[in-house]
Amino acid sequence: MTVKLIASDMDDTLLNSNTKISERNAAAIHKAIAKGIVFMIATGRMYVSVKPYADALGLDVPLVTYNGALVKGSKSGKVYYEHPLKLDTALELLAYCKEKGYYIQSYQGDELWVKEETVFSAEYERISGIKAKPVGEKLYHPEVAPYKLLAMTKPEEFQKVWQDIQQKFAGKVTVTSSRDNFLELMEPGVNKWNAVKAVAASYGIRPEEVMCIGDSNNDLSMIENAGIGVAVANAKPAVQAAAELVTASNDEDGVAEVIERFTL
């Protein structure tokens, strides 16, 4: 099978444990691009958090951000499409999380809104490199629909909060996770695969010519549907089970290994 487009998740996949792109990963990506293969990033992160990595790789492609809620050009800044949460749904979710005492943060434009600085917001800032904007009670009353909401919990409470929100908002929201305590909340139908597939189509590339690489639950949609779905060795068991193959871990240049195997 000919691979014409490669879409990789960022955290715990393309990035190592130090949130860096290794020299080997970068070299493999540049070689693939030189052969005419499209390489793109598909992430739950904010656009502003992804762009520096895309720039470092010299990418000139649409980037899938917010788990597919926004697809935006890495160099042009062109918005290819956006699917934010419905404002009414967002307001309902925010009110519910406030009532339950769940930590919630909102992505307004390319700003990260939090009620106040907490250990959760500090953890997110450390991982993403983005400074949160404390807005107090305004967090619960946005006037513009957010791209997504993200709830964070203690690890032992995660499954309970997931089930609680999923049952309460069944049919109104897509619920997935990117880390063991990150609960991602998007508009129904928003996922990485639908966004990657749309980008591929804009290049005239068929789904079976796409390779997708990831590690977590929010990568399942693209790993299950791509022509070649790849899990890194540190991926969750369910992701590894869904993948056609498992490459090395994110700390062992797994992205480079699979690119070298299939394209170089």
Structure confidence by residue, pLDDT tens digits, 177-195: 988 889 999 999 999 999 9
Q: Are 10 and 59 in contact (CB under 8 A)?
A: no
What fold characterizes domain 87-186? Answer: 3.30.1240
Q: In the prediction, which pLDDT does 264 show?
A: 76
- Establish whether 60 is a catalytic residue: no
3-state class (DSSP) for residue 174: strand
Give how far the C-alpha of residue 213 lies from the chain's centroid of Cα atoms, to the nearest Å: 12
Rounded mean pLDDT of the chain? Answer: 95
Per-residue pLDDT, averaged over 195-207, amounts to 95
Per-residue pLDDT, averaged over 220-229, amounts to 97
How many residues appear in the chain? 264
Which among 9, 12, 215, 253 is annotated as catalytic? 9
CA distance 32 to 255: 12
Q: In the prediction, which pLDDT does 43 show?
A: 96
Each residue of 34-77: pLDDT tens digit?
Answer: 999 999 999 999 999 999 999 999 999 999 999 999 999 999 99
Q: Are 48 and 133 in contact (CB under 8 A)?
A: no
Domain boundaries, the chain: 5-82+190-263, 87-186
Asked if pLDDT for residue 1 goes beyond 80, the answer is no
Each residue of 77-116: pLDDT tens digit?
Answer: 999 889 999 999 999 999 999 999 999 999 998 999 999 9
Give the E-state strand segments of 42-88 in sequence order: 62-65, 70-73, 79-82
- By the 10 Å C-beta count (0-12 exposed, 13-18 middle, 19+ buried), 129 is classed as middle
The CATH code of the domain at 5-82+190-263 is 3.40.50.1000
Query: 67: which DSSP letter?
Result: G
